A and B are shown apart, each in its own frame.
Chain A
Amino acid sequence: ELKVEQNPLFLSMQEGKNYTIYCNYSTTSDRLYWYRQDPGKSLESLFVLLSNGAVKQEGRLMASLDTKARLSTLHITAAVHDLSATYFCAVVKNTGTASKLTFGTGTRLQVTL
Chain B
Amino acid sequence: EAGVAQSPRYKIIEKRQSVAFWCNPISGHATLYWYQQILGQGPKLLIQFQNNGVVDDSQLPKDRFSAERLKGVDSTLKIQPAKLEDSAVYLCASSLDGTGDNEQFFGPGTRLTVL
Q: Which of A31, A42, A88 contacts B109 (CB 8 A)?
A: A42
Task: Tally chain A residues at the interface, Cβ within 8 Å.
Answer: 26
A98 contacts B106, CB within 8 Å? no
Q: Which of B41, B45, B111 contacts A101 (CB 8 A)?
A: B45
User: Chain A contact residues: over half helix, strand or loop, or mixed?
Assistant: strand
B98 contacts A42, CB within 8 Å? no
Q: How many A-B contacts are there with CB distance less than 8 Å?
A: 51
Produce 1/0 per residue, B92-113, CB < 8 A to A: 0000001110011111110100
Query: Is B56 at the interface (CB under 8 A from chain A)?
Result: yes
Q: Which of B1-46 contact A (CB under 8 A)?
A: 33, 40-45
Nearest CB on B from A78, distance (A): 27
Q: Which of A31, A42, A88, A95 contacts B42 (CB 8 A)?
A: A88
> Which residues of the other chain, A, contact B41 by a CB distance below 8 angstroms?
105-106
Sample of 7 A–B contacts (CB below 8 Å): A31-B100, A41-B108, A45-B105, A98-B50, A101-B33, A103-B42, A103-B44
**Interface residue ranges, A against B (CB under 8 Å):** 4, 30-31, 33, 40-43, 45, 48, 88, 90, 92-95, 97-106
